[in-house]
Amino acid sequence: LTSEAAGYYKAAYAIVSLLSVPANPFILTTYPEINKLVVQKSWVRLKDFLKKITIVAAALNLALAAGFAIFGKWLLSIYGEQYTAAYPALLALLIGFTFNYTLFWNRPLLLSLGLPQFPLKATVAAGLAKLALAFPLVPRFGYIAEAALLSMYYITSVGAIVWRGVKEIRHQENLNR
């Protein structure tokens, strides 16, 4: 792609990655609680905790995403008026980043459950799919395709990790009945 396309992508990515700012304190503070509940085998409390932090994260991230969607062109124009062309990429990135930072607890959960290899496998598989799709799609559809592929990567990898964590919690609940 051209350096112009790279600049547009970088601008959209920089704005959307601001979603990580409020998410980082959540990540740091929830892991000890998740781990404590797993060690205690308190599966009902763990599910309740995950539900509550997901609701809080979803409310915060959806509000921020709405703000970025509404004011995205203006935010991009800070880089220069021509950067408003990156708005579709910003929207595409926003989908994946919002999903990722809403379910930020996915990896800490599996680490606490003693399944550290699953996130690696899920991210490698999603990364390989993203890479394979990049070759036919990015030359044809440009940086917007790259933004959509990154969102797809987040949704598939985080989605798989969350699915595996929920499955393991259910399995542990059934063992303890």
Burial class (CB in 10 A: 0-12, 13-18, 19+), 70: exposed
**Would you say 46 and 127 are in contact if contact means Cβ atoms under 8 Å apart?**
no
Which two tokens mark 143?
A: 């940086």
Separation between Cα atoms, residue 61 and residue 66, nearest integer Å: 8
Other beta carbons less than 10 A from residue 51's beta carbon = 10
pLDDT of residue 138: 96
Burial class (CB in 10 A: 0-12, 13-18, 19+), 152: middle
pTM: 0.93
> Residues 26, 29, 34, CA angle at the centre, nearest 5°?
105
3-state secondary structure of 103: coil
| pLDDT per residue of the chain (177 residues) written in tens, 0 to 9 | 899 999 999 999 999 999 888 888 888 889 999 999 999 999 999 999 999 999 999 999 999 999 999 999 999 999 999 999 999 999 999 999 999 999 999 999 999 999 999 999 999 999 999 999 999 999 999 999 999 999 999 999 999 999 999 999 999 999 877
pLDDT of residue 9: 96
pLDDT of residue 77: 96
Which two tokens mark 17?
A: 């990655």
pLDDT of residue 148: 98
Burial class (CB in 10 A: 0-12, 13-18, 19+), 29: exposed
